[in-house]
Amino acid sequence: MPERTVSARACKLAVAAAYCARAEPRAERASRHNVANDFSESFPRRLRLTRASDFQQVFKNNIRRADECVTILVGTRKGENPRLGFAIARKQVARAVKRNALKRLFRESFRRNRYRLPARDMVIMVRREILAAGPAQIRASLERHWDSIIEQCKKS
């Protein structure tokens, strides 16, 4: 079988053509900030309460939804996205492992419901009784809270 020789120029042209075929215009390229990509199950920074002033605003002016395990404070500030923060005291849940597990559970519920939720700031606080509740009971409680918050915010 005879060997084929390819010139360097032909190789460069083939590589350039393949690269150009893969390249998309910058505006169409998907990025993590693109709204079209916003239907993921992530918890980006723009959906979190990060500053102390944000938490203080929710603590001062809020609508409160509570049951035996969880209290959710809904701020009055309207934004473009719902935002979530946690105020889980070490006094209420002593073990860091348990606090982190609760936060994961809360984030998961928030991510699944964030498209239904009003664009308000929310802070989740817990009571000691949450330690006796199982994950299924906590999820059901959060679902009831989300529904209640949606109804309350439609009225106001």
Tell me the DSSP string of 39-69.
TSS---GGGB--SHHHHHHHHHSEEEEE-SS
**Same structural domain, 54 and 14:** no
Residue 28 domain-assigned? yes
**Same structural domain, 12 and 53:** no
**Same structural domain, 24 and 68:** no
**Same structural domain, 20 and 58:** no
Tens of each residue's pLDDT in the chain, 156 residues:
556 666 666 666 666 666 555 554 444 444 444 444 455 667 888 889 999 999 999 999 899 999 999 999 999 887 889 999 999 999 999 999 999 999 999 999 999 998 999 999 999 999 999 999 999 999 999 999 999 999 988 887
CATH of the domain at 66: 3.30.230.10
**Same structural domain, 61 and 85:** yes
**Same structural domain, 140 and 117:** yes
pTM here?
0.72
Residue 123 domain-assigned? yes
| pLDDT score recorded for residue 41 | 67
